[in-house]
Chains A and B, each alone.
Chain A
Amino acid sequence: MTGHDGRTGIRTSKEDELRVVRQPLPRHDQSEKIAGSTRYAADFALAHMLHARLVRSPVPSAEITKRDATSALAVPGIVAVLFGDDVPHNVIRVDVPGQAVEVAALRASMEVLATDRVRFHGEPVALVVAESEDALAEACDLVEVDYAELPAVFEPGEALQDGAPAVHDHGNLLSEWNIDAGDIAAAFAHADVVVEGSYQTQAVDHAYLEPEAGVGWLDDEGVLNLRVATQVVEHYRDVARILGIPEARVRVIAPYVGGGFGGKEDMTVEPYLALAVWRTRRPVRMQWTRQESLLARPKRHRMWMRYRTAGRGDGTILGQDIEITADAGAYAYLSALVLLYASVHACGPYKTGAVRLRARCAYTNNPPTSAFRGFGGMQVVFGYESQMDLVARRLGMSPAQIRKQNALARGDVLPVGQPIETEVQLAATVDAVMSRAGARPSPSGSRKAIGRGIASNMQSYGRLTWLNDSAAAWVGFQLDGSLSVRCGVPDIGGGQASSLAQIASEVLAVPMEAITVHFGDSALTPLAGTTTATRQLLMSGNAVYEASMRLREQILGAVDAESGRPAGGLRLEPGRIAWQGGEVSLTDALATCRRVNVPIEALSTFFGPKGSPVVRQLRADRVFPDFTFGTHLCDLEVDLDTGQIALLRYIAAHDVGRAINPLSVAGQISGGAVQGLGMALLEEVVVEDGVNLTGGFFQYLIPTATDVPDIEVVVLESGEGMGPFGARGIGEPPIGPPAAAVASAIHDALGSRPTVLPITPERVLQCAGALTDELPA
């Protein structure tokens, strides 16, 4: 086993040295989930528990003229009705970095419960607490709130024009990022080919199967406990600020979460549960309905992208001129950062000589938008991959060739200024999907057309470098040789906790079944940061790796010193420590450690790579720790009469650095690809004049088992990631390519390209319309 190999951040080891890592082990959390005994947030109950629900605004933009709880309070079983004035500090702060104060920072906050003004359909206005769900339902309808509707704006382009209705007091521009790299005028002046395209992506819901939920209570020390479905236990700080109590008096516990995808990154039920418990001093449960989740939770940003791409006759990309406009909805949430991700990723995994990028994000009176798997880095894939195909077509090149030819390599510098420090296997992922795909399928009928498309992407893993990210983990032996790992990582279904056990098992030679991982508790497990940004394997993984290495050295050192002939060469093996000509059992070694005052535990904090804060004019030597690269291939058949798309084959290849658990890696890639295919073909949150019309799963169509083929996963392992054993993050990257791959395949089939998502049958027929007459009879 080797540590850092001297290059930045990479700690890899040879495949044949690995015993547990790279093994496709069934995850330790699966047994309980499959037995049906895992207690998710809403499955938890306490005696004498109350129930809480929100009253939400029915209109997108209005002044609140009256709030009256008299009738609601008369319902038997009602305990409390809270308005904004009842909240100790009625504000949720949002950080908008890199923007001048006068642009955004002053407006980037929202009320926990709206007092004078609502800005979107579904905004919380009152919190009702009752003895039973039934009393709650009755009382919520009786909370009287009067609204005087105000002018509103629903399209970000309009919101940015002079005289547009102001969503917030000082204008509607939330954030703006610019990149100017190289000589863009020269790039276009010397171009042999210039292609232009406009692309539009829709609002999408995370649609995790578990709606937002949690239970709160005061414990025997008077500490406010919140056991909630969340990706971020560190929200205890936000809750403490709202209540005006010390941070140490709030504890957030994340049980296994029923899917997150970014939608449980911002607070959901936390502040409301906290207020209800604080007010009543009793346990309270809050569970949002699916309808409520679809109505009011932040969505993926709608984006309008305009690309002009300059290319040389040999296929070299000379320059990209890009404008992005995004819909932030009514409140800031993480929109500024999402737009930053879009900006940094906007040219894709390609050497790009010159870049001019202008990206803006505007407030509207639509439902807010925030984090969603891919985080702005995925919408732009639809833009840049469409452009790559258009350039290739103009030059008569294959889609594979133009991607391989322009692929980034170690040492290249991104337009934002960050050098690529790890090996890029983009070309290998292109070759992998092409060779696996083989011959093209044949159409099933005369009015059917076959298309094949590929799309590549890059997606950062790890948080923005100036956020000073860190993760801590504690690893300790028990006296019987079993091992405890404590790490505050929330496990949202990606195997976050199980991977930590696998890393510790590798380093400490403890069998997986002898390891227990305690996770997701802001008070009792070392804080490990958010399960977002594809960061946990990099951050918590390295923290567990370092703590395990330290613990190993401690124990081997103590045994070596006690042996009477300190010589080194000790090996930690399952159940024992061995050396040339001798061995001692692990339990005896642990007893030795205790006798000579050597700890049998270790705490380690891993710090992410650092970078300087960015400003609106983006120029930074490091924005993200590193990136993951991949390529997807889609074979599909278009029905020329109905516009229906049948997905025939789908292949997804990513370089994951090192697959800690190949089953979890394949699961992330397969699930991410299907979630991306849903966005490509089916999903859209429809909001009309600010009214969210998407009222349930009968309207919001996520892929069923019949909508998608088996995802054929190809895993490449360069050993070049910055995570433990050379792993790269793989949570977000697979959702990037699908929409572009499908659009490319349709272009291939029909000769015309869809540019608006989702690619509905109507939009397919629009593409087919240009070609129908030319088709052979």
Chain B
Amino acid sequence: MTDDGSTAANGRTLAVHLTVNGRPITRVAGAHFTLLRWLRDAAGLTDPKYGCGEGICGSCAVLVDGVPVSSCLVLAAQVDGADVVTASGLCEPDGSLGSLQRAFHERHAAQCGFCTPGMLVAAAAMLAGGSTPSRAAIRSELHGNLCRCTGYGPIVDAIEAAMQADARQAGQTGQPADVAAEAP
């Protein structure tokens, strides 16, 4: 019996240990489980979404050791021991929205909201880069995340606003000024 309550048809199971949103989790699941399935069915985290199963739509994107990854394309076993961050991991410790999430909220960047967890993860990776790219560059970075509701403009607005806020904050707190200097 595995942690998703099922018996793998071929009987092969193994234990995978991941740190997810700062919390260590070990689950025994099918050896063939993708990271997406492991997170959803074995670990019970449903914010990464299944949208296409072939790495096109980005709804399942998570950060694996800081790098955005389509979790439907990697096996959980391949990333055993990794540090994984999902969209819910971008919240503040008290559960309130983090700064990037607040920008999404204020700019109406979610409509149906199904692509939003993946979009947030892609945006978080962009923000971690520390630069403030142009709108065109932000759009280019989002090419792996599909949205069918918003037309993308509000999402780009939100990411741009979050980057500018980060850059302002970096300037105020005496962080290296090169990022702030690029802000319009």
Give the B-binding residues of A (Cβ under 8 A).
24, 26-27, 29-31, 33-40, 42-43, 48-49, 75-77, 131-135, 137-138, 206-211, 256-259, 261, 287, 289-291, 492-495, 663-664, 666-667, 670-675, 696-698, 702-706, 708, 710-711
Contacts and interface: CB of A to CB of B under 8 A. Distances in A.
A495 B154 CA distance: 15
Interface in B99-133: 101, 104-106, 108-117, 120
Nearest to A36: B47
B8 interface: yes
**B contact residues, range:** 35 or more
B52 A671 contact: no
Contact of A674 (B47, B97, B151): B151
A258 B52 contact: no
Contacts of A131: 6-7
A291 B51 CA distance: 10
A30 B105 contact: yes
B9 to A, nearest CB: 4
Given A132-B8, A705-B143, A34 B149 contact: no
Contacts of A33: 110, 113, 116
B73 interface: no
Interface stretch (B74-82, B83-91, B169-177): B83-91
Contacts of A705: 138-140, 142-143, 145, 147, 152, 155-156
Given A34-B110, A696-B52, 8 more contacts: A33-B116, A35-B87, A135-B7, A135-B9, A211-B50, A290-B54, A493-B114, A670-B150
A671 B108 CA distance: 12
Q: B interface, by DSSP: helix, strand, loop or mixed?
A: loop
A35 B97 contact: yes
Task: Name the prevailing secondary structure of the A interface residues.
Answer: loop
Contacts of A31: 97, 105
B26 interface: no
A704 B142 contact: yes
A41 B43 CA distance: 18
A43 B148 contact: no
A204 B102 CA distance: 35
Contacts of A30: 104-105, 108, 110, 113
Contact of A675 (B30, B114, B148): B148
Contacts, number: 196
A124 to B, nearest CB: 20
Nearest to B104: A34
B149 A259 contact: yes
16 contacts: A37-B88, A38-B113, A42-B49, A43-B46, A77-B7, A208-B112, A208-B114, A493-B149, A667-B154, A672-B151, A698-B54, A705-B142, A705-B147, A705-B155, A705-B156, A710-B156
B95 interface: yes
Contacts of B142: 704-706
B23 interface: no
A670 B153 contact: yes
A634 to B, nearest CB: 14
Contacts of B54: 290, 696-698
A704 B115 CA distance: 12
A33 B4 CA distance: 24
Residue from B5, B47, B148 whose CB has the most chain A CB atoms within 10 Å: B148
Contacts of B7: 76-77, 131-132, 134-135
Interface in B31-55: 40-41, 46-47, 49-54
B150 A667 contact: yes
Contacts of B67: none
Contacts of B50: 42, 211, 287
Given A31-B97, A35-B88, A696 B56 contact: yes
Contacts of B114: 40, 208-210, 258-259, 493
Contacts of A672: 151
A36 B118 CA distance: 10
Nearest to B47: A36
A287 B52 CA distance: 12
A47 B25 CA distance: 21
Contact of B151 (A259, A670, A698): A670
Most B CB within 10 A of own CB, among A33, A75, A209, A708: A209
A672 B114 CA distance: 17
